[in-house]
């Protein structure tokens, strides 16, 4: 089978296919073609960087995850939650299984679209005990947008969601969209943001992968959420290719970040945010990203050099974890708004 990948692109992709699983961040450029690979190396011992804490406003109990090997299950942990110099709550709680910690802290209610930072301190046994961890807790309203919010920009928002879970999620945060019943309806779409709902199988939905890639070449913005199976073929005219963790690909890749911090790593109570990963491989000598639950990147994306179209694919279970953390709904709101409004 003859490949339609140009020699420059083939050189860069072949190079990446030979890289070990954990390679440092890499950018490959030649003759205007830029391949940016963002991979995260494991932290060296003693330099652990903890993820930020996130929580919904208005909760009666603050549930956080701790590193389970730091404190045995059942041990007493002293805590303090503060806003500036004012202590909101302090006391003791017992460490649960798998590092789960439930603190009797009532978080304040907040208006839609508001996120505020608080400080949390955890110590073993008492307020004089060994410091376990201290850091920022970002508290988010359940609604990223005001109910009267109207999206800016001229791009229509289209949703293909045979499972129905993403449709409910978008409606719950007041994002208006047009529902697409059949993938073939995307064939002539232009100037739109196309969201493919969570758990769609690109393997079973024959032709959907090609339709999405063609939509990008017509200048559309495509957001693919945690597909269940299949693969995505790289376009022949990509300008920049991104792959790595969700934070780097979906939030900080060439854009100004929001003031708040989202925990996109171990935010659900079960610590399993990633539903699907993307692995760069080859199919009949053509480079493709294959979907796999095992090894691979949390998110990928590319921009089309001619049309300005974009594709972003997220492996996190956003709809699946919708009620467990604000990170899920605020990330979805960010991605939709960014794809709709960025030039």
Could you say which of 73, 107, 140 is where a domain stops? 140
Query: Quick one: 31 and 167 in the same domain?
Result: yes
Are the C-beta atoms of 303 and 255 separated by less than 8 Å? no
pLDDT at 258: 81
- Report how far Cα 309 is from the mean position of its chain's Cα atoms: 20
Position 37 pLDDT exceeds 50: no
Cα angle: 303, vertex 309, 311; to 5 degrees: 60
Position 252 pLDDT exceeds 60: yes
- Between residues 183 and 154, which one has the greater pLDDT? 183
Half-sphere exposure of 241 (CA within 13 A, CB side): 26
Query: Would 221 be classed as within a structural domain?
Result: yes
Q: Write out pLDDT tens, residues 267-308.
A: 787 778 999 999 999 888 888 999 999 899 999 999 988 888
Q: What is the residue-averaged pLDDT of the chain?
A: 82
Query: Quick one: 109 and 231 in the same domain?
Result: no
Are the C-beta atoms of 330 and 144 separated by less than 8 Å? yes
Query: Would 24 be classed as within a structural domain?
Result: yes
- Average the pLDDT over 330-335 and give the result: 94
Cα angle: 342, vertex 164, 229; to 5 degrees: 80
pLDDT at 266: 74
255 sits in the region (left: phi over 0; alpha: psi -120 to 50; else beta) called beta
Radius of gyration of the chain (CA): 22
Query: Quick one: 158 and 131 in the same domain?
Result: no
Tell me the CATH number at 333. 3.40.50
| pLDDT band per the 50, 70, 90 thresholds, residue 6 | very low
Q: How many domains is the chain built from?
A: 2
Q: Write out pLDDT tens, residues 87-134.
A: 999 999 998 877 788 999 999 999 999 999 999 999 999 999 999 989
Position 32 pLDDT exceeds 70: no
Query: Would 169 be classed as within a structural domain?
Result: yes
- Average the pLDDT over 323-328 and give the result: 92
Whole-model pTM: value is 0.84
Query: Would 306 be classed as within a structural domain?
Result: yes
**d(C-alpha 334, C-alpha 336), whole Å:** 6
| pLDDT band per the 50, 70, 90 thresholds, residue 255 | low
Half-sphere exposure of 299 (CA within 13 A, CB side): 29
Query: Quick one: 149 and 132 in the same domain?
Result: no
pLDDT at 274: 94
pLDDT at 231: 93
Here the tokens at position 236 are 């022949």
Position 238 pLDDT exceeds 80: no
pLDDT at 229: 93
Query: Would 65 be classed as within a structural domain?
Result: yes
Range list of β-strands (E), 226-285: 231-233, 238-244, 277-283
Non-local (6+) Cβ contacts of 71 within 8 A are: 77, 95, 99, 124, 132
Tell me the CATH number at 100. 2.60.40.380
Look up tokens 């492996």; give the residue: 315
pLDDT at 3: 38
Domain that holds residue 97: 58-140
Q: What DSSP letter does each residue of 159-224 carry, written as one string?
A: EE-TT-HHHHHHHHTT---EEESSGGGGTT--SEEEEEPTT-BTTTSTTHHHHHHHHHHTT-EEEE
Query: Quick one: 157 and 295 in the same domain?
Result: yes
């Amino acid at each position: 089978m003859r490949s339609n990948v140009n020699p420059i692109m083939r050189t860069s992709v072949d190079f990446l296919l030979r890289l070990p699983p954990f390679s440092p961040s890499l950018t490959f450029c030649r003759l205007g073609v830029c391949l940016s690979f963002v991979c995260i190396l494991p932290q060296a011992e003693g330099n652990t960087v903890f993820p930020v804490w996130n929580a919904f406003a208005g909760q009666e109990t603050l549930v956080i995850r701790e590193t389970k090997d730091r404190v045995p299950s059942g041990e007493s942990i002293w805590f303090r939650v503060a806003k500036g110099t004012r202590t909101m709550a302090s006391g003791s709680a017992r460490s649960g299984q798998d590092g789960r910690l439930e603190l009797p802290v009532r978080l304040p209610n907040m208006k839609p679209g508001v996120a505020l930072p608080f400080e949390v301190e955890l110590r073993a046994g008492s307020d004089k005990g060994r410091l376990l961890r201290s850091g920022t807790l970002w508290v988010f309203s359940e609604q990223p947008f005001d109910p009267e919010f109207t999206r800016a920009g001229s791009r229509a928002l289209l949703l293909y969601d045979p499972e129905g879970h993403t449709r409910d999620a978008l409606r719950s945060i007041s994002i208006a969209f047009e529902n697409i019943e059949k993938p073939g309806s995307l064939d002539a779409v232009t100037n739109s943001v196309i969201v493919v709902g969570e758990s769609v199988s690109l393997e079973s939905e024959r032709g959907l992968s090609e339709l999405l890639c063609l939509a990008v070449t017509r200048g559309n913005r495509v957001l693919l959420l945690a597909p269940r199976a299949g693969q995505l073929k790289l376009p022949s005219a990509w300008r920049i290719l991104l792959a790595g963790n969700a934070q780097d690909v979906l939030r900080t890749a060439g854009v100004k970040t929001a003031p708040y911090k989202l925990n996109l790593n171990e935010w659900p109570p079960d610590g399993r945010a990633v539903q699907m990963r993307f692995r760069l491989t080859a199919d009949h000598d053509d480079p493709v990203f294959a979907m796999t639950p095992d090894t691979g990147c949390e998110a990928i994306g590319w921009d089309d050099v001619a049309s300005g179209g974009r594709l972003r694919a997220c492996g996190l279970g956003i709809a699946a974890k919708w009620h467990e953390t604000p990170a899920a709904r605020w990330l979805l709101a960010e991605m939709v708004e960014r794809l709709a409004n960025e030039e």
